[in-house]
Structure 1
Amino acid sequence: MWILFSRGYSVNRILDFYRLQETDSLYLFWIKEILIAVLIFVFFWWLSKVVRWILINIAPRFTSITATDLDDRILKRITPPISLLVIFAGLYYSVSYLALPQKVHLVTSGLVFIVNVAILTNVAYRCTDEILQWYAARLVQRHGEGLDRQLVPLAEKLATIFLIGTALIIVLKHFNYDILSLVTALGIGSLAIGMAAKDTLANMISGFTLMIDRPFRIGDRIHLKDGNWGDVTDIGLRTTKIKTVDNTLLIIPNSDLCNTTVINQAFPDIKAKGKITVGVAYGSDIELVKRTLVSAALEVEGVLSDPAPEAFFTAFGDSALNMALFFWVADYTKVFGTTDSINELIIKRFAEAGIVFPFPTRTIYLHKEE
C-alpha cells in the first residue's frame, strides 16, 4: 500500500485496487467450491451407475443359488430406488459442502435429506411388501385361499404405519426437534384411547388371534355353543360374519368367539358323518334290519363306501326297537340332501322286506274289585 501511495496513487484508487483483488478472490473461491461440489455429485452419479450394474449383473448370480425366489424378487424391486438413493446422497453431500448462508444451507440440505429418507423408506416398504406377498403365497399353498386376504392387508398397514412413523422421527431428529416429548404425548394419548375403546381393542386383538390361530376359515361351517350354526363369510378385525342356513347374517364379536366352544365341521377335512334313527316293531329280525339299512344307504348317490355305512341296534324303546344308521359323505353340505334320499329309500326297502314301523301303543289293564 505504501508503495502505491509513493508512486502517486490516490487513496480512492488504492481502495478500488484492493476491492478488485477481494472480488477476484471471492470469484475464485466460489468457482472452487462449486467445482468441488460438482465433482462430488458426479462421483456419486457414477457410483450409482456402478451400484446399478452390480445389482443387475452380479448380485443375481448369488441370489440364484438360494432355494427361494424371495431374494431375487426383493433385488429386482429395490434396484431402481437404491440407484436413486445414491444419486441423492451425492446431492446431499454436494449441498452440505457449499459454504451457503445458514438459512439457505438449512433449507436446501434439509429438503435433500427428506428426499433421501423418503427413498430409503420406499426401499424398506418394497422389501416388506415382497416378504408379505411371498408369505401369502405360502399360506395359500398350505391352507388354501382366505387367510392371505385377511392377514396380509393388516400386516401391510401395520408395516406402513411403522415405516412412516420411523421416517418422521428421523426427519424430526435431523432438525433437532424434541422427539421425547412427542413420544411421551403419543404414549399418553394411546393409553387414553386404549382405556376408552378397550372393548374394540379386545375384539381387534381377538380378530388378529383368529387369523393366526385359524380355528376356522372363510367358507367353513361352524356350530356355536348357543346352538347357532352356519358358514363363515368373513373374519374381520372386530367381528366375524356367519351366514346361517336360513340366509340370515350372524355378526359375532371376535372376543366372544375366542372365549367360547366352536365346532368346525370342515376341519380336519370336509367329509361329514350323517345319522338316521328308526324304530322297528318288536319281533323284527335285527340282522335283516341292519342289512336293509346299510344296503339302502349304499344305493344313494353321494354316500361313501369307504368308510362304509354302519347300522346298530341302540336301545329298547317303549314301542319299538331303536336302530341307528351312520354314513359318510364327501362334503358336509350334502348331509341333509343325502339324509332325505336315504329316508325315502328306507321306507321302500322296509316295505319290500316286511319290516314294520310300529305306532306308539299303550296297554291298559283294569282290575275289577270284588
Structure 2
Amino acid sequence: MAAQDGTNGSNASADGPADATNESANGTTGGGGATNESANESTWGPRIDGEAGATTPENNTAAETANALGEFLAQWLPVGLADAVSKFVLAVVIMVLAWYASKVINRLLGRRIARRFRRPSVSRTVLRLIRLVVMFFGFTTVLTVYEVQLGDIVLSVTVFTAVVGVILAPIVGSYISGIFVLADQPYEVGDMVEIVDQDVHGFVEDVTLRYTKIFTLDNTFVTIPNGSIRDRDVVNYSAEDPRTRLRLDVTVSYEDDVEAARRLLENAARDVDVVIDGGPDIRIGSARYPAAPTCYVNDFADHGVLLTLRFWVKEPYKLLTARSKILERVWDRQDDVDMTFPYPHSHLVFDETSGHLDVAVGEGGPGGRVADGDRRGTSDANPNGRGDARSDDPST
C-alpha cells in the first residue's frame, strides 16, 4: 500500500508540472490572440461592420488593395492625401487594364465574329458592344475602390434620365434608328450610295448605332445621323452587284437614217473602257438584260426620233465618266452617218394682217419720232396694210 501511494504521488507530481506547462502555453496563446487583435485594430483605414452593409473581403479586393497602397504612401504623405492618391492611381490602373483587355478580346474574337455575321457593319457593332462591356466592368471595379454601391449609381442614373429625358430623346431615337438600319440592311460598308435630297454620292465608310459615315467622291466625309437617314431616299448603286445600268436619250432628225444612228450609239458605247461590251445576260431578279450596249427607238418626239441607249458600267463611281465619253464619241462621229440633232427654234412670219407702223424721223415730238396712222390695220398713209414701217422724210 505504501508503495502504491508513493507511485500515485509520483504521478500526481508528474502531472502537476505538465498542467502548469499547458496553462503557460495557453496563456502564451492567449497573449498571441491579444497581439493579433491589436494588429487588426491598427490596420490602415476605417473598417465598416458587416451590420452596416459593408462588402465582404472577397467582393472588396480593390478597396483592400487601395488601403494597402495607402499604408505604403502614408510613410511619405499625409494620411488623407495618401488615401486619395492611392485610390486615384489604382483607378487609373484598372481602367488602363480594362482598355487593354478589351483590345485583346476584340483581336481574339474579331475573325470569329466576322465569319459569324458576314456583315462588316454588324460585326463592328458587336465588337464595340464587347469592348463597352469590358470597360463597364472596369468602371464598376473602380467604384468598389471608392466604396460606392452600384445600386446608388443606378438610382442616380434613373433620376437623371427622368430629368433630362427631353434632351436624351433624340440621342436614344438615333440609336434605335441605328438598330433598324442594321436590321433592314439598306446599305453596307463599301457600298456606293446616293442621298437624293442632299446630292451626296460616295462610299459607306462606317455604320454605327448612332450615325452613318459616307466618304464622298469629292474626297470629303459626310456623317449623317441614323434618325435622319431613315427619312431620306437612299440609292444603293453597288448592293449585291457593282455593275450599274445607265440610259442615254438622243434625238435625231426625221430625215436621218435611224438604223445608222442606232449603230453609231451602240459602237460609241462599246469603245469606252468602263462599259461592258458583251458577255452573258445580266440577271436582275427574275429578269435578264443584255450585257452589251443596246439602242432602242423610244418615241416619235416633236422635233425628231427619240433613241434610248442602255449600257452597263463596271464600277458605280465611273457613271459620269462613261456618259461623258460616249457623248464625245457620238459628237465626233455624227458626220459619218449624216446624223443631225434637231433643236427647238422659233420662226416669225409677218403677213398682211400683221398691221403697220408709220414713223417720222427728225421731226415732231420728243425724240424726233411721230407715229402716223394706226398701229393695227391700215391707214391713209399705207392703204395696202403691208405691215411695213414708212418714213415721212423724203431723204430716207
Give the TM-score category using the shorter length: 0.5 to 0.7
2:110 match: secondary structure: helix
Q: Of 100, 108, 114, which aligns to 1:137?
A: 114
Query: How far is the alpha carbon of 1:328 from its aligned partner?
Result: 0.3
> For residues 268-307 of structure 1, what are the structure 2 equivalents within 5 Å?
268-304=240-276, 305-306=278-279, 307=291
Q: Quick one: which amino acid aligns to residue 289 of structure 1? A: A
- Per the alignment, do residues 217 and 17 of structure 1 end up closer, same or farther by CA in structure 2, a change over 3 Å counting? same
Establish whether residue 157 from structure 1 lines up as the match of residue 131 from structure 2. Answer: yes
Cα separation, 2, equivalents of 1:99 and 1:331: 81
Q: Quick one: which amino acid aligns to residue 240 of structure 2? A: P
Cα separation, 1, equivalents of 2:133 and 2:140: 10
Q: Of 167, 185, 194, which aligns to 1:214?
A: 185
Task: Give the number of the structure whose residues are more often helix, by fraction.
Answer: 1
Cα separation, 1, equivalents of 2:150 and 2:221: 47
- Per the alignment, do residues 128 and 247 of structure 1 end up closer, same or farther by CA in structure 2, a change over 3 Å counting? closer
- The 8 Å contact of residues 293 and 312 in structure 2, kept in 1 or not, is answered as yes
- Per the alignment, do residues 139 and 261 of structure 1 end up closer, same or farther by CA in structure 2, a change over 3 Å counting? farther
Cα separation, 1, equivalents of 2:31 and 2:194: 80
Q: Quick one: which amino acid aligns to residue 246 of structure 2? A: G
- The 8 Å contact of residues 106 and 130 in structure 2, kept in 1 or not, is answered as yes
Query: How far is the alpha carbon of 1:336 from its aligned partner?
Result: 1.5
- Per the alignment, do residues 129 and 221 of structure 1 end up closer, same or farther by CA in structure 2, a change over 3 Å counting? closer
2:197 match: secondary structure: coil
- The 8 Å contact of residues 230 and 245 in structure 1, kept in 2 or not, is answered as yes
Establish whether residue 321 from structure 1 lines up as the match of residue 295 from structure 2. Answer: no
- The 8 Å contact of residues 221 and 265 in structure 1, kept in 2 or not, is answered as yes
Q: Of 357, 361, 364, which aligns to 2:345?
A: 361
- Per the alignment, do residues 100 and 110 of structure 1 end up closer, same or farther by CA in structure 2, a change over 3 Å counting? farther
Establish whether residue 241 from structure 1 lines up as the match of residue 213 from structure 2. Answer: yes
Query: How far is the alpha carbon of 1:155 from its aligned partner?
Result: 0.9
Per-residue displacement from partner, 1:78-119 (whole Å, max 9, x unpaired)? Answer: xxxxxxxxxxxxxxxxxxxx9999877989x94454459x9x
Query: How far is the alpha carbon of 1:204 from its aligned partner?
Result: 3.2
Per-residue displacement from partner, 1:119-139 (whole Å, max 9, x unpaired)? Answer: xxx9x9899758852543216
Cα separation, 1, equivalents of 2:121 and 2:219: 21
Q: Of 232, 239, 252, which aligns to 1:260?
A: 232
**What's the Cα RMSD here?**
4.7
Q: Of 195, 208, 227, which aligns to 1:224?
A: 195
Cα separation, 2, equivalents of 1:246 and 1:327: 25
Cα separation, 1, equivalents of 2:211 and 2:136: 25
- The 8 Å contact of residues 202 and 255 in structure 1, kept in 2 or not, is answered as yes
Cα separation, 2, equivalents of 1:201 and 1:110: 37
Q: Quick one: which amino acid aligns to residue 220 of structure 1? A: D
Cα separation, 2, equivalents of 1:211 and 1:190: 26
- Per the alignment, do residues 22 and 284 of structure 1 end up closer, same or farther by CA in structure 2, a change over 3 Å counting? farther
Cα separation, 2, equivalents of 1:221 and 1:139: 24
> For residues 1-370 of structure 1, what are the structure 2 equivalents within 5 Å?
21-25=22-26, 110-115=56-61, 132-138=109-115, 142-143=118-119, 145=120, 148=123, 150-161=124-135, 163-164=137-138, 181-231=152-202, 232-304=204-276, 305-306=278-279, 307-364=291-348, 366-369=350-353
- The 8 Å contact of residues 132 and 152 in structure 1, kept in 2 or not, is answered as no
Cα separation, 2, equivalents of 1:30 and 1:312: 110
Equivalent residue pairs, number: 282
Query: How far is the alpha carbon of 1:327 from its aligned partner?
Result: 0.6
- Per the alignment, do residues 152 and 221 of structure 1 end up closer, same or farther by CA in structure 2, a change over 3 Å counting? same
- The 8 Å contact of residues 265 and 295 in structure 2, kept in 1 or not, is answered as yes
- The 8 Å contact of residues 121 and 206 in structure 2, kept in 1 or not, is answered as no
Cα separation, 1, equivalents of 2:149 and 2:190: 51
- Per the alignment, do residues 343 and 222 of structure 1 end up closer, same or farther by CA in structure 2, a change over 3 Å counting? same
Q: Give me the TM-score of the superposition, normalised by structure 1.
A: 0.59
Q: Quick one: which amino acid aligns to residue 229 of structure 1? A: V
Cα separation, 2, equivalents of 1:312 and 1:349: 19
Q: Give me the TM-score of the superposition, normalised by structure 2.
A: 0.56
Query: How far is the alpha carbon of 1:158 from its aligned partner?
Result: 3.2
- Per the alignment, do residues 189 and 284 of structure 1 end up closer, same or farther by CA in structure 2, a change over 3 Å counting? same
Segments of structure 2 that go 5 or more residues without pairing to the other structure are: 1-8, 10-15, 66-97, 280-290, 354-384, 386-396
- The 8 Å contact of residues 103 and 131 in structure 2, kept in 1 or not, is answered as no
- The 8 Å contact of residues 233 and 241 in structure 1, kept in 2 or not, is answered as yes
Specify the structure having the higher radius of gyration (Cα).
2
- Per the alignment, do residues 192 and 360 of structure 1 end up closer, same or farther by CA in structure 2, a change over 3 Å counting? same
2:264 match: secondary structure: helix
Per-residue displacement from partner, 1:42-64 (whole Å, max 9, x unpaired)? Answer: xxxxxxxxxxxxxxxxxxxxxxx
- Per the alignment, do residues 280 and 166 of structure 1 end up closer, same or farther by CA in structure 2, a change over 3 Å counting? same
Segments of structure 1 that go 5 or more residues without pairing to the other structure are: 1-6, 8-13, 34-97
